[in-house]
Structures are given as structure tokens and as C-alpha cells.
Structure 1
């Protein structure tokens, strides 16, 4: 039990770290769980949708912001994941396009 403060949150799992990093890439609107929700990583009591981590590969499914260069955004996601999960094949799938923030 901690003394005099809030409990320290548990460290993030690899899939959670990857998800946070991917969401920080400019042009990524969100992660996407795949057509039938098949892309995700199951963790105790929760699921990280849009990220599937295997032994030698990482699958990332994203929604991009309308108007961004899709290939450049996918390449930036691939590079980001590659830095955090070295040696893995990184497969990026763009599942959808979302309107830019503030667009009507």
C-alpha cells in the first residue's frame, strides 16, 4: 500500500504503448478494430483495439484524418512502431478516413 498518495498506475503493456504512440502520429484520427473487430490485443480486463502484436509482426489498423497524405501517414506509423518494437514486421492498414477536427 502506498503512503499518503494515490496508487502508482501499473506500467503500460507493449500494445498500450504502441497504441499511444500511433495515436500521437500526425494525421492519425483513431485506431480501428477491423471490419469484424478482429484486430486487437487482449489484456487482463481490457482490449487494445487496432493493435495486434505477434512474435515477429505488429498489425496496426488506423483511421486517418481527411486531407492528409495517406501513404506518408502510414509510413510515419510504420516508423514509429518500428522504433518501439524493433525487428518486427510492421503492417499498417488504413481502414477509414475521418473528417478533420472542426470540419462540418
Structure 2
């Protein structure tokens, strides 16, 4: 299933459809992506043992809940696959705004 070129596209589409996801994120140095013939699916890395999804969330999204929702949605599309979700950024947050996406408390 991971060798199918549409797997990365499916993961990207499913992740983007989750409420609170602004977009996929390429990682700090642009290192997160799946290379396909003639193009790249940014924010999705397909490995033999797991799928990694890196996202940017909307300012109103709850970090942990959004990450969990993405994980669940991708797992539903790819049963029996480990899914790792990383929230890389909050859309519109400046680097010096004091907004730390990992410090948001559960409500």
C-alpha cells in the first residue's frame, strides 16, 4: 500500500480536510515530503513502518485535539499503519509572538 503513489496524496487530502488544519507543513528545513515522479507532496513522509504528517493549524484550533483528529482520520484511511502527527506552526503566528503550540493546555 505504501508503494502506491496515491498514498501520499490520500494522506495529504485526508489531513487537510480535518477541521483546524490550515495546511501541511514542509518541516523546519523543508525536509518533510514525499517525492513522486515530477512532483513532491509536502508535509507527508511515507516510511516502511509509519506515516508522518506535519501540519500548520489555524489560530483557533486546539493543538492536541487537532493532532489527534488528523491521526484518527489518516488511520481510518490507512488501517494498521502507525501515524505520527507533528504540529509545526500556527497559521499567522509570528515567530516572536510568544505563541508556543506545544504549551497549549487541554480544555
Mark yes or no: TM-score above 0.5: yes
TM-score of the superposed pair, with normalisation by structure 2:
0.79
1:48 aligned residue:
41
1:63-87: per-residue Cα shift (whole Å, max 9, x none)? 0000211111000000011111111
Match of 1:16 among 9, 16, 19: 9
| Count of residue pairs brought into register by the alignment | 89
The two structures, once aligned, show a CA RMSD in angstroms of 1.4
Q: Which runs of 5+ in 1 are unaligned?
A: 1-11, 100-104
TM-score of the superposed pair, with normalisation by structure 1:
0.81
Q: Which runs of 5+ in 2 are unaligned?
A: 93-107
- Are the equivalent residues in 2 in contact too, given 1:56–1:87 (CA < 8 A)? no
1:3 aligned residue:
none
Q: SS at the partner of 2:80?
A: coil
Bigger Rg, which one: 1
1:27 aligned residue:
20
* Structure 1 ranges of 4+ moved more than 3 A: none
